Structure 1
Amino acid sequence: MSDVLVLDRAATLAALDPDRLMAAVSDALVAVAQDRASAPARTAAFAPNGLLGAMPGYVPGLGLAAKLVSVFQDPERPGRSSHQGVVVLFDPEDGSPLAVLDAEPITAWRTAASATHSALALAGPGPVVVVGTGAQARAQVALLAVVRPGVPVTVTGRDPAATRTTAALHPRGEAAPDIEGAVREAGTVYCCTGATAPVVRRAWLAPGTHVSSVGGSHGPELDAGTIRDADLFTEWPGAAATPPPSGAHELQGLPAGRRVTLLGSVLAGEATGRRSPEALTVFKSTGHAALDVAAAYVVHGTVTGRAGR
């Protein structure tokens, strides 16, 4: 164990090279869609104010890792939650541990990468809006600042000061005080909250809008009307087929035969993405261990100089 790399939050974040992360997350999503990744459904132990989840996974070419993460509501900030824990990377050949990494930046940035891939693959024209001001929203805005620095981003949330701070992470970021007003003008909506009830309504979404919903660990972020009318995309089949905490609150009880397309299949060119300019599309993220593997691979490679690309 003396050779195991141990990184705190700041060091883990510093090693998450955005371009390499986007490439690795794309590889992981495709591997999941092609059934080449090994990752059981997330299990969790529940405490009064949150849960502790366990997420092991293996992705060919990226590695073997496991995450232990706690997701707890913040009683002083309603609608916010924290994701704290560790990701342990193992050698896929002999099983020896290679690194222990802080799970919070890994979770936030790999989730932002998958949401960004969904928008790049599925969204049409129109303004980009980020709903939320917590850690996940900040990671989303910061990633967009790297991969789409020339595209304006509007950030909206309930806390005006936090909204302005989050918007400042993007060179063309602007703060908007009214969530409904911002969403009504959007072509792409990144919903990044710790909500326990819907924060985006179907009536606010114009034809052709794309929604990347990555929050909602404690309840639905989107209302039933949005799910009813949208073409649905997820990271893995269990987002709709398993109950929370592995599955999405919004995707429980879908009608028989309702199609849910894997984002990796779209990225691989094996499935259709947007059907028409007017179609409403929703990417509902629940998180997946393969994405943690991808992010841990990037961090370890960056620090050790073994970066694959």
Structure 2
Amino acid sequence: MTGVLVLDRAQTRAALDPVQVTEAVGRALVAIARDEVSVPPRIAARAPAGLLGAMPGHVPGLGLAAKLVSVFGDPARPGRSNHRGVVALFDEQDGRPLALMDAEPLTAVRTAACATLSMRALARPAPRRVAVLGTGTQARAQVALLAGLGPGMAVVVGGRDAGRARQAAGLLPGASADTVAGAVAGAEVVFCCTDTAAPVVDHSWLAPGAHVSSVGGSRGPELDAATVHAASLFAEWPGAASPPPAGAHELADLPARRLTLLGAVLDGTHPGRRSPEELTVFKSTGHAALDVAAASVAYRLARAGGLGTEVDL
């Protein structure tokens, strides 16, 4: 095969096996913690109505890739934004372009995989009640990934729009829908997957010993200051505490000692949770190494399954 494999949205989604993506994302997180990846600072070109970001990265053994993603406001949905883009995968040995794929499903699945790994590493064992906050693409990806974990968890989707919350809950048999506060009440794990500009979680709502994963909030903080202050904090990379857009609103200007890398917990060099009563927070900002991980899985499975169109570039 010498051409470039082009995968449309449906083909990209079909090639993103959640189990294999989660395993690859775990490898990438460990590589980040060990400082084995090559990922330069993010850059973005700004237009009057939005921006175009560029995120290249290399993870040894997984691949070399770059994501181009635009973030523009959605006129049809005031206060919300559209994220559109592509991921280009290259051969890490000779630099040949291998594939071009849709960034939206890839980003959604790898982000949900990362958040799920944070639950496995940091939540108390065998959580019985899990809240997913949000009703958009990322929340749906999180619910869909939880559907593959098997029975035992009561999943509640919390959203401002009751109809959309019920639709998202419908992706997992037995899941239910509620308000945001209602979903959080009593939850041992809270997945925040919103496009908010202001906190959606209040510290007083959280159960003792809860684990919170926050993957949204690109326009503002998804978590309130009291939650951040009280929690043990975990992130994908040290730059999560830098100012946005590279870092997280919630973590900006925090001292480095407050942050532990999730990969360090996954590879056993950090204990993670230290007591049942501890509040743990994983704050995701995204990282190019995770795109590399997901793209490598999508390319391999697409080739094996005969997906996509090969073009000469």
Give the match for residue 11 of structure 1: 11
Task: Map 1:119-268; keep pairs closer than 5 Å.
Answer: 119-124=119-124, 125-176=127-178, 178-240=179-241, 242-254=242-254, 256=255, 258-268=257-267
2-structure distance, mates of 1:162, 1:226: 27
Structure 2 runs not aligned, ≥5 long:
306-313
**Alpha-carbon contact 1:150-1:172 (below 8 Å) kept:** no
**Alpha-carbon contact 1:80-1:134 (below 8 Å) kept:** no
CA root-mean-square deviation: 1.6
Give the match for residue 308 of structure 2: none
Which amino acid in the other structure matches residue 247 of structure 2?
G
SS at match of 2:13: helix
SS at match of 2:269: coil
2-structure distance, mates of 1:70, 1:123: 33
SS at match of 1:138: helix
Shift of 1:262: 0.3
Give the match for residue 304 of structure 1: 303
**Alpha-carbon contact 2:158-2:182 (below 8 Å) kept:** no
SS at match of 1:45: strand
SS at match of 1:305: helix
SS at match of 1:239: helix
Identity of aligned residues (%): 65
Bigger drift between 110-119 and 141-150 goes to 141-150
**Alpha-carbon contact 2:128-2:153 (below 8 Å) kept:** no
Which amino acid in the other structure matches residue 186 of structure 2?
E
**Alpha-carbon contact 2:238-2:256 (below 8 Å) kept:** no
Give the match for residue 30 of structure 1: 30
SS at match of 2:250: helix
Task: Map 1:23-172; keep pairs closer than 5 Å.
Answer: 23-124=23-124, 125-172=127-174
The total of aligned residue pairs comes to: 303
Shift of 1:151: 2.0
Bigger drift between 118-127 and 59-68 goes to 118-127
2-structure distance, mates of 1:16, 1:59: 18
1-structure distance, mates of 2:291, 2:163: 31
What TM-score do the two structures reach when normalised by structure 1?
0.94
2-structure distance, mates of 1:257, 1:268: 20
Do the aligned partners of residues 182 and 6 (structure 1) sit closer, same or farther apart at CA in structure 2, a change above 3 Å counting? same
Q: Which runs of 4+ in 1 moved over 3 A?
A: none
Structure 1 runs not aligned, ≥5 long:
none
Shift of 1:181: 2.1
1-structure distance, mates of 2:27, 2:256: 28
